Structure 1
Amino acid sequence: MLLKRNFNDKQIQILEVAETLFAEKGFDGTSIRNIAKMAKINIAMVSYYFGSKERLLESLIVYRTSDLKNQLEHLLLEDLEPLDKINKLIELYINRINSNRGIYRILHFEFPSKKSKQNLSVFSELKKGNLKSLEIIIKEGQNKGIFRKDIIIPLITPTILGTFFHFHMNKPFFENLLNLKTEDLYNNYIKTNLTTHIQQTVKALLIYEMGTPEMLCKQ
């Protein structure tokens, strides 16, 4: 069940401080006391608004991703070819992750990599919703004979995210290799070159190598 999406100014202040600390120290390395101290508020206020650190993280996910679902739903309704929808979906993913690197790093690396009892239902719901949008677009392309029938759809998302995170986790190496001397150059490279590379990679996975099955039958 999703938490409420309308946060007041004080809640937003707490969420943004928590995001900063989670990104710097990790989820386990950050305490409610740390968050309250940096936000310059009473520790009881954090507990009053969010109850626990896990619930605070769920609220942070909602705060940072609440409009993504609407964007994906709008994308599904656009009058575009399936491949164009896939390209726009990848742009949405990369822009969103690059703008919120800290929280996505925690969600995709800290939690899955340990035997955690935390059950982030909000994050699970978000991933299921994103996967459903991807499935709808790919099945549309399959029905039109554009996309392969043997695509393993759940592996498309890790292909997108894995490429981005490999690039970002090796930031100093790629900054030096690609002469990305400023943060603006680095971010622009992600927005253009890296995004295009991921789009081309996914396209290669989706499209028939030598045309549609009908074309192959005629050869």
Structure 2
Amino acid sequence: MPRKSASKTFHDAKSYFRAKATSVKAWELPKQPTTFAPDGTWTNIDNDVTPVERRIWGHWSLLGYWMSDILSAQSWEGASTVISGGLTYREALLCLIMGTFIIAIPISFNGSIGAKLRVPYPVAARSSFGYVFSRVPVVIRMVTALFWHAIQTYAGSTAMTQVIRAIWPSYLNIPNHFPENAGITSQQLLSHFIFWTVQLPFLLTPPHKL
């Protein structure tokens, strides 16, 4: 019985990937039902008011989320950049603390509508920009997220290089097949791909399950 089940699973997976490779229609996702929008509206459950079963974030969850955002390689790079500009480490630390408190004000105001009304950002933006033009801040947010993801992944790839180098020192000797003006080497691109592959499963985690 287990062998038959494994064979069926393999067959289903094979059919799935074959369809993805040969048909554009296979990439279309079924339309999710929504509680609020009328039939025919282009929306999904992520634009609904957050259901009660997904409201699992508490004070400690929010604190942990923002601490993980602040205690990151990018924050350390910010401090090192300030120090390289001529400030002492005490002045750099003070600048970072003040800057963090300043940006916390608009961030708190921006998130308050979602915390009170349980609506996602694309829906909240409609109150200021209207139904059609609310797509503009959403696109801006997407572009910002792409840049932030790229910066995070690059920083992670440099750390991945050091991890692999500590295990296999010869990793740094991988021949480079890119021209000098490419701005990246074969070894750096490999580290980038490895780190991107490692973080991909975490990126697929829904926000309410983080």
Q: Specify if TM > 0.5.
A: no
TM-score bracket, normalised by the shorter chain, equals under 0.3
Which one has a bigger Cα radius of gyration?
A: 2
TM-score relative to the length of structure 2: 0.26
Higher RCO (C-alpha under 8 Å, 6+ residues apart): 1
